[in-house]
Amino acid sequence: MLGLLTSIGPLSIDMYLPSFGSIADSLHTTTSSIALSLSSFFIGLGVGQLFYGPLLERYGRVKPTYIGLGIYALSSLGCAYSQSVEMLIFFRFTQALGACGGMVASRAIVRDNFKTTEAAKAFSMLMIIVAVSPIIAPTLGGYISEWTSWRTVFIILAALSISLWALLYFFLPKAKPGNPNYSLKLSSIGKNYAEILKHPAFILNALMGSIAYAGLYAYLSGSPHLYIETYGVSETTYATIFALNAIGLVGAGQINNLILRRVKSRSIVIGALMAQTIVGAVMFTLYELDLFTVNTVTACIFSYLFCLGLIFPNASALSLGSMGHTAGSASAMLGAVQMLLGAMASAIVSATLSIGFLEMILVMALCAAIALILGMISQKKLSAFD
């Protein structure tokens, strides 16, 4: 159940990526303009999660999720019938506002029921489920776009959210109830978030994991331009390559559960960040030496995402491990930080796509390096919190 809730965001991102060219032709614009609809989705996910955090504390984990799925369904239909790129960008933003409810709730429910080590394993299981969506979604989206229309992709997403709403209503086990005494006044909400941001274990771990995760969004924004326009692959071939890269996340999630039996979460994160930084440096070197081909870039991105599959679940568990008293709000803040940093990375890449894909490589490499620096700081200062 939680995996499906978490997957609705990645599905919304990945399923329409192969259709960038078709959408641009249909709306009489460019792929770089369509890429802004991806950035607006990331911004919506980041901003929306801050609102869901307090709602999950006040009304419990379930009711806000139902509302979010309803908003998502209506917005998906709005995307399907958009007549301009501006309409698409707007409805992608509101679609994200609906999607993030389930994403926040799923993390909060994990934190409600598991301690740090067990939570890291649970997040790994969620990541495995989430990582399956990039394998299925682009392939499915590519075929749908070729056989029917890109608009059908969004109609299917609307139908999926309605089906998920019904599934949760009938089968989701009872989750933590709401606290009627939790204040929804803006001053109280702001104070609660300020307290979370002052917590050293939360902010350092959240920034470490989120900056590393932002490298994924740089890849998501730049990959259609890289593969379809630069290397001239078809939409279905792009979807296949995308699925191959996503296997790195799936494999890492399973391996992470095995490693956690012997190694602590923080040690796994530091080792994976080191490896990810090396991969970023290798990508930049290959580009400068003009050795980039479809095969070499795919191998590098596969390795990069494999490292991320080890970083993300452990960093998430470390971030929320000491926030049990405000798990809903802390989960919302974590998601907001992740998505806003991802939106920044996505926007930078989208704005420079006409120049080339060097910017995508630089952003991915910098994200890994900065996250590693934060990881080293956290290792030195936060061992008492683990």
What is the pLDDT tens value at each position of the chain, 386 positions in all? 788 888 888 788 878 888 888 899 999 998 878 888 988 898 888 788 888 888 888 888 888 889 999 999 999 999 999 999 999 999 999 999 999 888 888 877 777 777 766 777 777 777 667 666 656 777 788 788 878 889 999 999 999 899 988 888 888 777 677 788 888 888 888 888 888 888 888 888 999 999 998 998 888 888 877 888 788 888 778 878 877 887 887 788 778 888 988 888 889 999 999 999 999 999 999 988 988 888 999 999 999 999 998 998 888 888 877 676 676 778 778 878 887 888 788 888 877 765 567 888 999 999 999 999 999 988 877 655 55
Q: Six-digit token pair at 71?
A: 């908003």
Q: Which domains does the chain have, with CATH numbers?
A: 2-172+188-380 (1.20.1250.20)
Give the helix ranges, DSSP H, for 148-174.
150-171
Round to whole Å and give the CA distance between 272 and 175. 33
- Angstrom CA distances, 158 to 12, 73, 134, 154, 361, stand at 10, 4, 18, 6, 34
Kindly tell me the burial class for residue 100, based on how many C-beta atoms sit within 10 Å of its own C-beta (0-12, 13-18, 19 or more): buried
Q: What is the DSSP letter of 357?
A: S
> Which residues, 6 or more positions from 303, have their beta carbon under 8 angstroms from its beta carbon?
248, 275, 279
Q: Are 68 and 102 in contact (CB under 8 A)?
A: yes
pLDDT of residue 356: 60
- Measured in degrees and rounded to the nearest 5, phi and psi for residue 354 equal -65, -20
The amino acid sitting at 137 is A
For residue 9, which of 102, 141, 85 has the smallest C-alpha distance? 102
- Angstrom CA distances, 253 to 227, 302, 313, 335, stand at 26, 14, 8, 19
Round to whole Å and give the CA distance between 328 and 320. 10
Round to whole Å and give the CA distance between 339 and 353. 20
Instruction: Return the SS3 of 43.
Output: helix
CA 84 to chain centre: 26
Half-sphere exposure at residue 370, Cβ-oriented, CA atoms within 13 angstroms: 18
Q: Six-digit token pair at 266?
A: 């923080």
Q: Are 19 and 235 in contact (CB under 8 A)?
A: yes
- Angstrom CA distances, 267 to 38, 80, 93, 271, stand at 33, 45, 37, 6
Round to whole Å and give the CA distance between 84 and 36. 13
Q: Which DSSP helix (H) or strand (E) runs through 366?
A: helix 358-381
The amino acid sitting at 236 is T
pLDDT of residue 382: 66
